[in-house]
Structure 1
């Protein structure tokens, strides 16, 4: 009996769907991401579940909506035991971050992740990279190998590495390379096992910081003379939280650092792909590349993701992410899928590709898109709609329309994507579109009512985009569940 496929899942942090050479940004050097696309399929319309890291990552793993798993904002507290790790000495650059910590919170405790199911079926699961779903020091959800960082982000050359239950700040070591090094070590070990493996490589790139001191000089220099002509250079969005960028040198600094972070990460992806080839594992391994959420780097005058503005935004640049998948002899090389697909659909797809469809938990919104991969249907039947949420902000989007509702008072947005793919003209409030607004709002609220857990419903929570300090709703253990706006 043929062994089940291995899975190498590479996940990045704050990478927009546009941020690859193969997806239409010619200045960006990503030969290894292009290599995955050339050997498999690139998706043009893959959407995250929430335009910020922790909720999006939790939805990928559990298949639940944020108002179903309870991670409604990026996790600001609950990653480490403050009493044990806050006193790391004067050389610890994370002292301020640890001030937000109290005790570890395993935010997804008691919930089923697809890695739990894979592990129960005999897969060896390993994590090298960002976790950011609470209790970073303790391996969870089927992972038997665990190498991460203490908090949700880190200084690229001073990462707070978690290894074997201890946190060590690795001064002078580039975190992107450290994650790849550990992933290669794991790959060496996993390749010797008879059972299949699931290897998650979760880079922090290309998340900020983007200053030249944070990334290898070779990549900063590579983009020194780049004019970033394909990236919009437009006035700052009126709700921008990051301070002025338009008309300043900050634009070039941001883009140079962001592009450098992407190319430095791409270089490490190449090492992983080379290792698969050297070990003759390529044909037996599904390689997936994606990101937790999208990112605006000047699009709409925004420098950030969903919480780059307040109130939080749901522009396509924030909710659309890259998605590449390769599996030789199964997925046609160089293919492009234009169908709309949601992060919710990943859980059932992975189970179907590994022969575990019967283990898919009931009551989840996702539907497998394996037929798009393995030469079956070229498009999915029926109306395809995607939904996103970020606290009290919710979105419904199909090919033609996008509606964004901010509970309880707005502002709300309606875009006719067929005529306005750049989302530049908000039609909400115009009398001729009132019927369309009511239709989309009813469809959206019907869907969310089906999948929301009323005990942790995001529309009843004061999510600000400044971080979550404990479980929400009925499970809150402190009154200040969310950070204040702009912190």
Structure 2
């Protein structure tokens, strides 16, 4: 009996020692800015972000949002789903917002919930979701957080009167205090909690900068709310006094660009151009506080010796390339636009990305991913899993594909596989109101429904980047982003002139064949779920993985016969009956039967 007891104690001691020796799962910090664009991504604007993150991490210029609007994009992050699957498509009811999120049963089934189940302590501070208000923050609590301190409406975008709900409790309004500095202090407090614990931790930090400023007493209606120049802290008030927006080829063009209501925009006046420059300077000043926050977070992790075991994701939206990530992009002055983000242009949907962490390769990558993939990647790092089929793909942030590519460089079959790995796509969707911000912004637009396909591929040894969109108006857009990165020349303008949803055959054989492939891929993606979202070409052609595969002449008749993406009209909200037909797996290509003699 004595020997048995001694043996049991010995086994327990060995098990405890083994557990303590096991490596701790990595910590995860997610910094999510709001409406940041690539024009802000310069070392002179963001010195701390560069020295603490970008110089030590991986930047992905081809990173995209599934919906270029705050609430839907954040739901895609929380759910790792495209918007056509979660159907939260706007910032307020009946199409979106916190109450719609609750009504769809998503509370308890989000990224932080899954991380908790995987053994993580989870913390969050800052902006969470639109229409999460002082009236509903207690009755409809946020799930998945060990502790949270969240901005709530109508105080979310009030830089100097932010209101927070801590742990689903009543709102505390901090009158006369600067929102981003409060988010910084709360984040550092949660960082102390995470560092003091025995569990790995997740910390989400979501300042509002550089979002437009909406005072809490502003009328909150689609026609009444005015989104002002972001408010800076006095310590930053004199920064960037001479900065101007770039006057690129797409800036306030002599001839209109785009389709739908965009094509009717008047040229900006000199007064409006000056206002946009001031708006830009306000955004830079608001970002200065965000930049300081980034430096403080990284410095605290480094001082605690935790930096080497922590992934830090920083997402910010840019224009014309860059390396940060936010919930959506932002545009001013290009294509004659007032401030805004709800279109299918690159500056709206492209939200490049930076990460540093254990084993993350440094530099700039050419792979293409999106917010849905970021959510899946965070779950995979944590050993977490959604309790439904998600749409994301794990991002190659460690360079495993590149290492395999180098090893297999001389193998033709491996070369084909390598090409398939780098051939990527992105889907952007929008169904509700087109929003213009600032004092010159027009009425919110109703004919702003579209689906956009973004292709990154190599075709016949030539780098190929294409943006293809179908609008509810019956118009289509196609841009060759290698030749026309600013999207000034719609290659389908002539087709649109022939009428809504004009026949592709009017383009000529070669152009019609390419367009048929892109349209077919969009047809698959617009209702995709799970693996079909990750490998949509395979739904069409079982052996295809890339655009180059699909361009083989043997498939011309097949693609020509497929139904086209189209809308019955422009309606608010995602309504499947307005977007028929939907992809049917029975339409997949079937090779012709070969009869042996």
1:338 lines up with 2:373 in the alignment: no
Which of 418, 421, 439 is residue 517 of structure 2 equivalent to?
439
Question: Contact (CA 8 Å) 2:93, 2:100: kept in 1 or not?
Answer: no
Which of 169, 177, 180 is residue 184 of structure 2 equivalent to?
180
Alignment of 1:65-464 (within 5 A): 65-75=82-92, 106=102, 109-110=105-106, 112-132=109-129, 135=132, 137=137, 138-151=140-153, 153-164=156-167, 165-209=169-213, 214-229=231-246, 234-235=251-252, 239=261, 246-248=269-271, 249-290=274-315, 291-307=326-342, 313-328=343-358, 330-333=359-362, 335-356=363-384, 359-360=385-386, 363-370=389-396, 372-373=398-399, 376-377=403-404, 381=421, 383-391=423-431, 392-399=449-456, 400-407=465-472, 409-428=473-492, 429-430=494-495, 431-432=507-508, 433-451=511-529
Q: Give the secondary structure class of the aligned counterpart of 2:453.
A: strand
Change (3 A) 1:251 1:213: closer
Question: Contact (CA 8 Å) 1:79, 1:134: kept in 2 or not?
Answer: yes
* Displacement after TM superposition at 1:160 (Å): 2.4
Structure 2 segments unaligned to the other structure (5+ residues): 1-21, 214-226, 316-325, 406-417, 432-448, 457-464, 496-506, 531-565, 577-597
Q: State the distance in 1 between where 2:399 and 2:312 align.
A: 13
Q: Give the secondary structure class of the aligned counterpart of 2:276.
A: helix
Question: Contact (CA 8 Å) 1:242, 1:303: kept in 2 or not?
Answer: no
Q: Give the secondary structure class of the aligned counterpart of 2:335.
A: helix
Q: Give the secondary structure class of the aligned counterpart of 2:102.
A: coil
Question: Contact (CA 8 Å) 2:72, 2:89: kept in 1 or not?
Answer: yes
Q: State the distance in 1 between where 2:383 and 2:355 align.
A: 18
What TM-score results when the alignment is normalised by the length of structure 2? 0.65
Alignment of 1:28-47 (within 5 A): 28-47=45-64
Q: State the distance in 2 between where 1:117 and 1:107 align.
A: 20
Change (3 A) 1:220 1:229: farther
Query: Could you say what the CA RMSD is over the residues aligned between the two structures, in angstroms?
Result: 3.1
Change (3 A) 1:473 1:410: closer
Q: State the distance in 1 between where 2:147 and 2:126 align.
A: 11
Question: Contact (CA 8 Å) 1:220, 1:256: kept in 2 or not?
Answer: no
Structure 1 segments unaligned to the other structure (5+ residues): 81-102, 308-312, 453-457, 475-487
Q: State the distance in 1 between where 2:571 and 2:202 align.
A: 33
Q: State the distance in 2 between where 1:427 and 1:402 align.
A: 10
Q: State the distance in 2 between where 1:189 and 1:242 align.
A: 51
Question: Contact (CA 8 Å) 1:9, 1:287: kept in 2 or not?
Answer: yes
Larger Rg: 2
Change (3 A) 1:416 1:229: closer
Change (3 A) 1:461 1:3: farther
1:212-252 per-position Cα deviation (integer Å, ceiling 9, x unaligned): 78211332311112244577783276846999854123022
Q: Give the secondary structure class of the aligned counterpart of 1:381.
A: helix
